[in-house]
């Protein structure tokens, strides 16, 4: 498995853009190096939609701390968060721990319901800011999923095509990584609804 902390738990997430829709998908494994402890650990937390992989305890901590900040924001400003604001809050939170970092990689997606504008951002564990990209992957299987993602991605896909592309890229990518897999969950966010689908994957 390797002895680096970012692959200690394993796990992977993928986000892809379509036309007025965004999809985020993650695997469901929770394990400690070679040992698989649970197969229902989805790593997607909903704010706008926000995703963490790699180190479970830190995932919970970062997720809870971010939730605290976003709740305060919404109370003070009396309005809902925009995806870009959430992303900047997250990268700020991560950089606060620059010299003793959280062991998480983050992936943020969002959709503006009025304009239909889509956002996909990713971040390393100290809060490096990325552009609004078409496709982003984080986790132990990210190298394998990137290749498949680039292959399946087409600009301006509709929600169904986007779901197919995301799920195929994820499912086939995790089959080459021993630390991720055991099923997958895909969230497709459109202007008026969020569709959650569970995928049947290899259970080994």
Longest Cα separation, the chain: 47
Give yes or no for residue 148 binding other proteins (CB under 8 A): no
Do residues 184 and 27 lie in contact, with contact meaning Cβ atoms separated by under 8 Å? yes
- Nearer to other proteins (CB atom), residue 8 or residue 187: 8
Q: Residues 112-141: x/- map of binding to other proteins (CB under 8 A)?
A: ----------------------------x-
Of the listed pieces 91-99, 101-109, 161-169, 175-183, which binds other proteins according to CB under 8 A? 175-183
Q: Is 69 left (phi over 0), alpha (psi -120 to 50) or beta?
A: alpha
**Of 48, 90, 106, 179, the one binding other proteins by CB under 8 A:** 179
Non-local (6+) Cβ contacts of 63 within 8 A are 45, 50, 52
Give yes or no for residue 202 binding other proteins (CB under 8 A): yes
Query: Of residues 23-42, which lie at the interface with other proteins (CB under 8 A)?
Result: 31, 33-36, 39
Q: How far is CA 38 from CA 7, 61, 182, 192, 197, in A?
A: 16, 19, 9, 33, 19
Q: How far is CA 15 from CA 45, 64, 109, in A?
A: 14, 22, 7
Give yes or no for residue 1 binding other proteins (CB under 8 A): yes
- Nearer to other proteins (CB atom), residue 164 or residue 175: 175
Q: How far is CA 201 from CA 4, 95, 113, 185, in A?
A: 26, 35, 32, 10
Query: Of residues 67-96, which lie at the interface with other proteins (CB under 8 A)?
Result: none
Give yes or no for residue 203 binding other proteins (CB under 8 A): yes
Give yes or no for residue 56 binding other proteins (CB under 8 A): no
Residue ranges in contact with other proteins by CB under 8 A: 1-2, 7, 10, 31, 33-36, 39, 140, 175-179, 182-183, 200, 202-204
């Amino acid at each position: 498995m390797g002895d680096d902390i970012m692959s200690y738990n394993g796990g992977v997430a993928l986000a892809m853009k379509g036309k007025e829709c965004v999809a985020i998908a993650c695997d469901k494994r929770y394990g400690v190096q070679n040992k698989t402890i649970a197969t229902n650990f989805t790593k997607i937390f909903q704010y706008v939609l926000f995703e963490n992989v790699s180190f479970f305890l830190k995932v919970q901590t970062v997720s809870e701390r971010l939730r605290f900040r976003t709740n305060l924001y919404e109370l003070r400003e009396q309005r809902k968060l925009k995806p870009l604001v959430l992303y900047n809050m997250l990268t700020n939170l991560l950089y606060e721990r620059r010299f003793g970092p959280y062991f998480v990689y983050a992936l943020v997606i969002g959709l503006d319901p009025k304009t239909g504008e889509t956002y996909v951002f990713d971040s390393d564990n100290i809060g490096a800011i990325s552009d609004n990209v078409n496709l982003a992957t984080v986790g132990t299987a990210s190298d394998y999923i990137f290749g498949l993602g680039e292959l399946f991605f087409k600009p301006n896909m509709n929600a169904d095509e986007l779901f197919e592309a995301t799920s195929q890229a994820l499912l086939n990518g995790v089959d080459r990584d021993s630390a991720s897999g055991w099923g997958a969950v895909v969230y497709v966010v459109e202007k008026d609804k969020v569709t959650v689908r569970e995928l049947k994957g290899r259970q080994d």
